[in-house]
């Protein structure tokens, strides 16, 4: 069967969602039309259990109920036969960059020759690719010009297909920090960006940058607490925020109901951020036992992005792929993330799935499952990290993350058993988001 794309009917705000749910409920009372999905295996992801031969009943954009056995559809119902498939919640990637894709040396030129409209149109394609890979929800952790706020609106009003986007808009850094957009530029073109552009120094600017993002329509805050691999700067791991700046970001974000995601490779920057009360550490390369303990104490999530580590390590072997300042960082930091993940998992740190796609190619997100399992994670836990734990990190467990009555109908399926062969997660055969089917192979 060819790919089926139906119009999308999500809404941008919860009150609007409530109205649409109410409308769907009234509609269903008059017609009782439902979609029945026969699932050979069901991973509901609220536990480690797998249930056999189940029927998931979808009405409007909601999961109405889940029944044992294959229930026969009544006259007005639609049947989706996935009796040879494993059905699970829509997948959630907690670290993407939908506006770009790193494709080689030329990528560093893009910021000088592309405008926000170019990045926005690129994002439209990457959003579709991501949804068709089974990812019905993503966090976008840094764009250039708030393009992903516009992207989210277009997806939510049904203009274009894509995942539910929770965006940090433009990341926040300090001067010369990982997300300072002017790093490595000659004086003749360089500017001195401030809180509006996501560069802060001191407590007042930290507060302003968070409030600016709230005003711009961001769903959460992303900061770069240490150096990073791909920025044109010397250190990939030095601490780049002072304690008072971190505290100002976290306290201000809390006032607006925004969570805080933190890019960090080096230990000291991570330690300061965790103590300040951030919600997730991204990459986390140089974590050790002390950091694991701190994360467990503060309930901080780890989003490993093993794929990004592997990708930069591999590309660092190619002459001329990265600028001279970047190459040694990529070679040193990249290969370490997988072992850090293995140790964090063993230590019992909470893990949410994330790929940093945009560094690697969009649509390849499922490879992260394979790398997580290679590093020692149980397949069911890898799947739960990309469903239940994604929703928990987003504070969206009331609507997303598991297959349960009353949740939004975001569902994916693979042929065969992903718990026996995790590479199945790289080949998603069925995607439903908000009750609409976007992919049916």
The window from 219-227, 342-350, 351-359, 428-436 that contacts Zn ion (CB under 5 A) reads 351-359
Written as six digits, the tokens of 250 are: 């976290």
- Least distance in angstroms from the C-beta of 356 to Zn ion: 4
- For Zn ion, give the closer residue by CB, 356 or 368: 356
- For Zn ion, give the closer residue by CB, 184 or 416: 184
- How far is 278 from 187, CA to CA, in rounded Å? 35
Binding mask 370-399 for Zn ion (x = CB under 5 A): ------------------------------
Identify the residue among 219, 245, 356, 429 touching Zn ion (CB under 5 A).
356
- Least distance in angstroms from the C-beta of 224 to Zn ion: 9
Which residues in the 15-34 window bind Zn ion by CB under 5 A? none
- Closest Cα partner for 61 from 166, 153, 158? 158
Kindly state the number of chain residues that form the binding site for Zn ion, as judged by CB under 5 A: 1
- How far is 64 from 210, CA to CA, in rounded Å? 38
- For Zn ion, give the closer residue by CB, 93 or 356: 356
- Least distance in angstroms from the C-beta of 305 to Zn ion: 7
The window from 122-130, 350-358, 367-375, 412-420 that contacts Zn ion (CB under 5 A) reads 350-358
- For Zn ion, give the closer residue by CB, 10 or 96: 96
Give the CA-trace dihedral at 246, 274, 48, 414, to 10 degrees: 40
- Least distance in angstroms from the C-beta of 375 to Zn ion: 20
- For Zn ion, give the closer residue by CB, 58 or 359: 359
The window from 28-36, 216-224, 349-357, 399-407 that contacts Zn ion (CB under 5 A) reads 349-357
- For Zn ion, give the closer residue by CB, 264 or 414: 264
- Least distance in angstroms from the C-beta of 117 to Zn ion: 22
- For Zn ion, give the closer residue by CB, 245 or 356: 356
- Least distance in angstroms from the C-beta of 225 to Zn ion: 13
Q: Is the CB of residue 224 less than 8 Å from the CB of residue 173?
A: yes
- How far is 149 from 143, CA to CA, in rounded Å? 9
Q: Which residues pair with 62 in a beta bridge?
A: 59, 408
Q: Which residue in the shown chain puts its C-beta closest to Zn ion? A: 356
Q: Is the CB of residue 138 less than 8 Å from the CB of residue 92?
A: yes
Q: What's the per-residue H, E or C state across 207-255?
A: HHHHHHHHHHCCCEEEEECECCCCCCCCCCCCECCCHHHHHHHHHHHHH
The window from 150-158, 223-231, 241-249, 352-360 that contacts Zn ion (CB under 5 A) reads 352-360
- For Zn ion, give the closer residue by CB, 179 or 412: 179
- Least distance in angstroms from the C-beta of 15 to Zn ion: 31
- Least distance in angstroms from the C-beta of 180 to Zn ion: 15
The window from 63-71, 84-92, 185-193, 353-361 that contacts Zn ion (CB under 5 A) reads 353-361
Q: Can you tell me whether residue 337 is helix, strand or coil?
A: helix
Written as six digits, the tokens of 340 are: 């850090």
- Closest Cα partner for 407 from 7, 13, 17, 11? 17
Q: Can you tell me whether residue 260 is helix, strand or coil?
A: strand
DSSP state of 121: H
Q: Is the CB of residue 286 less than 8 Å from the CB of residue 267?
A: yes
Q: Which residues contact 119 (CB under 8 A, 6 or more apart)?
A: 99, 100, 143, 144, 145, 147
- For Zn ion, give the closer residue by CB, 85 or 135: 135
Which residues in the 289-308 window bind Zn ion by CB under 5 A? none
- For Zn ion, give the closer residue by CB, 46 or 314: 314
CA-CA-CA-CA torsion sign (22, 23, 25, 30): positive
- Least distance in angstroms from the C-beta of 283 to Zn ion: 8
Which residues in the 257-276 window bind Zn ion by CB under 5 A? none
- Closest Cα partner for 394 from 169, 166, 164, 168? 166
Residue 93 binds Zn ion (CB under 5 A): no
- How far is 432 from 63, CA to CA, in rounded Å? 11
Q: How far is CA 200 from the centre of its chain?
A: 25
- Least distance in angstroms from the C-beta of 277 to Zn ion: 21
Q: Which pairing describes strands 78-89 and 430-433: parallel, antiparallel, or unpaired?
A: unpaired
- For Zn ion, give the closer residue by CB, 303 or 412: 303
- Least distance in angstroms from the C-beta of 195 to Zn ion: 21
**Residues in touch with Zn ion (CB under 5 A):** 356
């Amino acid at each position: 069967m060819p790919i089926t794309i139906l119009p999308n009917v999500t809404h941008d705000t919860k009150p609007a969602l409530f109205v649409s749910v109410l409308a769907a409920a009234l509609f269903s009372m008059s017609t009782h039309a439902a979609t029945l999905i026969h699932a050979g295996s069901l991973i509901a992801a609220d536990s480690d259990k797998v249930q056999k031969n189940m029927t998931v009943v979808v009405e409007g954009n909601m999961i109405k109920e889940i029944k044992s056995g294959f229930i026969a559809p009544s006259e007005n119902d639609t049947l989706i036969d996935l009796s040879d498939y494993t059905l699970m919640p829509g997948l959630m990637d907690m670290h993407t960059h939908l506006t770009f894709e790193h494709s080689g040396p030329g990528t560093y030129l893009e910021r000088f020759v592309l405008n926000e409209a170019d990045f926005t149109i690129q994002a439209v394609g990457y959003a579709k690719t991501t949804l068709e890979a089974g990812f019905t929800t993503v966090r976008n952790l840094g764009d250039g010009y708030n393009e992903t706020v516009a992207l989210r609106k277009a997806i939510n009003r049904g203009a274009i297909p894509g995942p539910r986007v929770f965006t940090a808009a433009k990341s926040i850094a300090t001067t010369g920090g990982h997300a300072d957009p002017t790093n490595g530029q000659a004086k003749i073109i360089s500017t001195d960006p401030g809180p509006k552009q996501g560069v802060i120094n001191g407590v007042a600017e930290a507060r302003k940058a968070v409030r600016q993002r709230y005003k711009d329509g961001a769903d959460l805050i992303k900061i770069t607490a240490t150096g990073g691999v791909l920025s044109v700067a010397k250190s990939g791991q030095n601490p780049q925020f002072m304690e008072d700046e971190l505290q100002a970001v976290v306290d201000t974000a809390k006032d607006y109901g925004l969570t805080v995601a933190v890019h960090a490779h080096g230990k000291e920057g991570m330690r300061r951020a965790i103590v300040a009360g951030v919600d997730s550490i991204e990459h986390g390369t140089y974590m050790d036992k002390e950091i694991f303990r701190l994360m467990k104490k503060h309930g901080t999530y780890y989003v490993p992005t093993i794929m990004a580590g592997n990708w930069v390590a591999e590309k660092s072997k190619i002459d001329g792929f990265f600028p001279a300042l970047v190459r040694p960082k990529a070679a040193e930091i990249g290969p370490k993330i997988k072992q850090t993940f293995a140790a964090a998992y063993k230590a019992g740190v909470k893990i949410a799935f994330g790929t940093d796609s945009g560094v690697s190619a969009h649509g390849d997100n499922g490879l992260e499952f394979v790398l997580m399992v290679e590093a020692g994670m149980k397949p069911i836990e890898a799947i739960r990290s990309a469903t239940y734990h994604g929703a928990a990190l987003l504070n969206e467990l009331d609507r997303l993350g598991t297959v349960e009555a009353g949740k939004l109908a975001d569902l994916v399926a693979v042929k065969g058993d992903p718990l026996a062969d995790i590479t199945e997660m790289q080949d998603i055969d069925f995607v439903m988001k908000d009750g609409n089917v976007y992919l049916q192979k």
